[in-house]
Amino acid sequence: MEQKKYTLPELPYGYGELAPFISEEQLKLHHDKHHLAYVNGANAIFDKLSAARQTNADLDLKAILKELSFHAGGHILHSKFWQNLAPARKGGGGEPSGRLMEKIKSEFGSYDRFKKEFSAAALSVEGSGWAALACSAESGGLAIMQIEKHNVNLFPEHKIILALDVWEHAYYLDYKNERAKFIEAFWRIVNWAEVQKNLEQIYQ
C-alpha cells in the first residue's frame, strides 16, 4: 500500500499582504523554498519506506524515522504557522476574545502575562525552533511549548493551537539577527480567529 504524500499548502493570503511585518520576499522564500523542502524531504522518506517494504529490504529505521520526524514536523508546524497569520486589514493582530481570552486570563492571569511568557519562550529557543501554545486533550489546560528544531520537546496529547517559527529563515531577510523585533511584529498579524477555532475543535 502506497503512503499518502504531503503537499505544500497554499497561503491563505497574498505574498505581499503581511507587509510590512513580513515582506513579500521573505514570505516567498520561507513558504516556497523552506517549507517545500520539508514536504519533499518527508515524501522522499515515504518513497524509501514503500520501496523497502515491497522488496523486504532492510533499513536503518532509527535514522530514517528520526529524519522523517524532522521533516514531517517541519511541514505540520509550518502549515499551522501560515494559518495563524492574517493581514492587519483582515483581522490580524489585536487581542483574542471569547473562550480563548477567558482561558488565557484564567491560566496566565492576564493576556499581557501570556504574551510576555510566549515571547520569552520564542526569544530563548536555542538554535532553531518554535514557540507554541497548546491545549491538553486530557485536561483542557493551556501550555506554552518551546520546540527545538521541529520535533524536540513536544508534549504528548497536546494540540498546538498557535505556532511561531523562530528559525532564522523565518525572519533574517527582514530583521537580520534581531529575533526580538520579529517576535514583536508577529503580534501585529496573529490570526486570533483561527487560534480560537483551533481551541474550539478540541471541545467538539
190 lies in a domain? yes
Please give the pLDDT value at position 140.
87
- Name the residue type at position 165: D
The gap between the terminal CA atoms of the chain, to the nearest Å, is 32
136 lies in a domain? yes
Backbone angles phi, psi at 55, to 5 degrees: -105, 0
5 lies in a domain? no
Give strand ranges (E) for 79-168. 129-136, 142-148, 158-165
162 lies in a domain? yes
The tens digit of pLDDT for each residue in 134-172 reads 999 888 899 999 999 999 998 888 999 999 999 999 999
Distance CA 178, CA 20 (A): 16
Q: Would you say 150 and 130 are in contact if contact means Cβ atoms under 8 Å apart?
A: yes
3 lies in a domain? no
Q: At 200, which CATH number?
A: 3.55.40.20
10 lies in a domain? no
Query: Is pLDDT above 70 for 1?
Result: no
In the block, which residue shows the cell 486589514?
Answer: 89
Backbone angles phi, psi at 81, to 5 degrees: -60, -45
Confidence of residue 186 (pLDDT cuts 50, 70, 90): very high
In the block, which residue shows the cell 520561507?
Answer: 30
Please give the pLDDT value at position 3.
65
Give strand ranges (E) for 69-167. 129-136, 142-148, 158-165
- Total domains, the chain: 1
The tens digit of pLDDT for each residue in 35-71 reads 999 999 999 999 999 999 999 998 999 999 999 999 9
Mean pLDDT over 104-132 rounds to 97
In the block, which residue shows the cell 498557535?
Answer: 162
2 lies in a domain? no
58 lies in a domain? yes
The tens digit of pLDDT for each residue in 78-90 reads 999 999 999 988 8
Q: Which domain holds residue 132?
A: 22-204
